[in-house]
Structure 1
Amino acid sequence: MTPPWPHWKAAVMDGDSDFQVPLSIEGLSFFYGKRRVLTDVSFEVPKGAVTVLLGPNGAGKSTLFGLITGLLAAQEGDLRIFGRSRARDGAGVLASLGMVFQQPTLDLDLSVDQNLAYFAGLRGLSPSETAAGVRRELERFELWDRRGEAVRQLNGGHRRRVEIARACLDAPPILVLDEPTVGLDIPTRRALVADLHTRAKDDGTAILWATHLVDEVWPGDRLVVLHEGGVRAAGSLEEVLAASGETELEAAFDKLTATAQAA
């Protein structure tokens, strides 16, 4: 599916050799004062696939997402979006990203429509582009009939759907989500995970999904296991299992994220 909006295409098409690597993380390290929270983190997020950043609470996932989304400035290393360097080319390279943060960011007193329209304005969408994107995304999540309701009238699962819809209004080629299913019931979590996999498969979206829940991993996903600020394993499910010496992901995750006990 060809993304409908043109404003990010220059970034995507800036070099055919890099077109198949939407997002590359290259040796990122980060310190809060003297405390190191990320150490030489490197991996790639390919087109048309879900890459699951899997790690326990406190592993450094949110800090890494802060670096990816520009909320934090990299101290060591770099990230590249379709081959363009964040450090060299500046914040403009982030235009290809759609972002969903762990903490809710909707205005509860505005309607669903108003929240989406405000965001569309920030992204520079025209009125016709906004109308088309809002309808497409809300119908996808079966929320079209509730577009005039204040967000505070929605339950947690519906609010999350609105946040994902907002991030996808301009069909970004890269979508990054930081623990978006925290606090949701199991059926809602499953529905959101299924939607993200559909976007990757059908639309070719490169998706980076941070979670600490192994049941959100599907066969065929790429995995990056993060623990204590470092990558413990990365690759396909089979490669991660091989790296751990286990045959089930839950056991592999427990082994890879085990903290060495003091002697």
Structure 2
Amino acid sequence: MIVIPAVDLRDGACVQLVGGEYAEERVRLEDPLAVAREWARLGFRRLHVVDLDAATGRGSNASAVAEIVRHGGVDLVQAGGGVRDEAAVERLIDAGAGAVVVGTRALEDPDWLREMAEHYPHQLVLAADVRERRIVTRGWQHTLPRVVTDVLEELHDVPLAAVMVTAVHLEGQMRGTDLPLMEDVAEAAHVPVFASGGVSSAGDLRALADRGVAGAIVGMALYTGALDPRAIIEEFHED
């Protein structure tokens, strides 16, 4: 299993939110490119970059995303946030993103997801944000009437790069991961699964690995120093 630092963008800064709530911003670093370069310097080879403002319709951090993709110093950036049409997918790929993260439109319009995946095979990461196993979209503001495992089972023939499942109810709280959820997701998915939300220790990461999870997106625990990045890279490195 690999660990991927999260670089969440809001108002031009790198932030970490608690529980997916904008009012609960715990970390704010004003230079996202410097943050990305520091993760690269420490040895991480992949970043997960999300434009939170675009995801919630509050604005855009497109220039910051492009800077990180082009100059962040890592091998691969998977980037997203508000990607709801083919033009947005193309912009990120043209900018150099190794994978594009799609969420709201992809989950609300499965035909669009299938079409985009066929146009860009193995370049899309489907981001499913989950509360109590139900998918939430539009920046965690809208709940779909379906559970995540049912959705993933229906996507078995769609050529995705990966599926990222975020336990939004645990996001940024460092109270441990939703292991039953992630184990069921790993069994239901037919592509690699990235887990996000609640990671607080190396033990959490080992437990995810034991349940078949391919990668973990980690934010708060890295930014607050709860996890030693060098030790994490040594144990959970990308070959």
**TM-score of the aligned structures, taking structure 1 as reference length:** 0.35
Higher relative contact order at CA 8 Å, sep ≥6: structure 1 or structure 2?
1
* Larger strand share, 1 or 2: 2
